[in-house]
Structure 1
């Protein structure tokens, strides 16, 4: 049997090594952890009220479970942010993310309809934005979270220009 060629794609290695991956900002970790902390406080407050009103032993057990799941989710969130990346190529944009289920989206510039840049209140507080790409097929939309606003604006402008150039050739 012959060995696969060096250019063969391995479906179990979805992050091609032939491109220059750009990471998202590490400040996205803080944004994710703060969002998680808010939900933890809300859940623990509700469970604490149930314990105070009902006085049963199940409430502290549930509170412990919420705390345990919160610590687990915080660990996963840190690793998940590090898994995000994007690469600009000649004809398309590649976006990767995921830990257990890895996802690689390849969006051809000619297929892009429009590009959004959004930033919620927490993202704005940490000077971050999200670039959202829209195509005709809803399943092929891709997003790149955790970008500094300058990089998000640069990427938006570049993708828009490249999308217009490629679409004219169709």
Structure 2
């Protein structure tokens, strides 16, 4: 993963960027295809059985958005990454609208691992970090279950040693 190129960029040093599991892309594709199938079923029922002609325009718009999501899923997953630095965790995501957040270890209040049924089936999880400031909370999707648990344990250990007084 390349570092940002702006003159006001966050200096990242020589740390290693960790990226999400390739299984995350597959889960995203399955989710988008499932939504397309449900959308097609609802649109066909409303359009053909109930003779509601208006349904074709919103159904087509939603279908185009989902197809675009299918096309960019792989590139979107490559844009997600995190880096453990000495004092904080840096998280980045986004292709057009890029977001980069540095979360200080001492400000973390909660580290949570979540996974839905499809995520469990593919062995991936989402790690959420919550801080006192609502804008710096992050969610790292698509981690393998082992990587999520290891990262959670590491973050809790480091945060305990760097806890700041409130």
Query: Please, what TM-score do these two structures have when normalized by structure 2?
Result: 0.85
Quote the residue 1:52 is aligned against: 48
Quote the residue 1:34 is aligned against: 30
Mapping of 1:112-127 within 5 angstroms? 112-127=108-123
Instruction: Tell me whether 1:156 sits opposite 2:152 in the alignment.
Output: yes
Instruction: After TM superposition, give the deviation of residue 151 of structure 1 in Å.
Output: 0.8
Mapping of 1:83-98 within 5 angstroms? 83-98=79-94
After the TM superposition, which segments of 4 or more aligned residues of structure 1 sit over 6 Å from their partners?
none
Quote the residue 1:165 is aligned against: 161
Unaligned runs of 5+ in 1: 1-7
Cα displacement string for residues 12-42 of structure 1 (whole angstroms, at most 9, x for unaligned residues): x679574321111011001111111121111
Instruction: After TM superposition, give the deviation of residue 110 of structure 1 in Å.
Output: 0.6
Instruction: Tell me whether 1:140 sits opposite 2:136 in the alignment.
Output: yes
How many residues were matched structurally?
A: 162
Structure 1 CA distance for aligned equivalents of residues 31 and 98 of structure 2: 23
Structure 2 CA distance for aligned equivalents of residues 58 and 15 of structure 1: 52
Is 17-26 or 44-53 further displaced after alignment? 17-26
Unaligned runs of 5+ in 2: none
Do the aligned partners of residues 53 and 63 (structure 1) sit closer, same or farther apart at CA in structure 2, a change above 3 Å counting? Answer: same
Structure 2 CA distance for aligned equivalents of residues 22 and 157 of structure 1: 16
Instruction: After TM superposition, give the deviation of residue 44 of structure 1 in Å.
Output: 0.9
Among 7, 11, 14, which residue is 1:10 paired with?
7
Structure 2 CA distance for aligned equivalents of residues 101 and 16 of structure 1: 20
Cα displacement string for residues 89-148 of structure 1 (whole angstroms, at most 9, x for unaligned residues): 111001100011100010010111121011111110100011111111121101211111
Specify the structure having the higher radius of gyration (Cα).
1
Query: Please, what TM-score do these two structures have when normalized by structure 1?
Result: 0.83
Instruction: Tell me whether 1:102 sits opposite 2:95 in the alignment.
Output: no
Q: Is the 8 A contact 1:24 1:145 kept in 2?
A: yes
Structure 1 CA distance for aligned equivalents of residues 53 and 74 of structure 2: 33
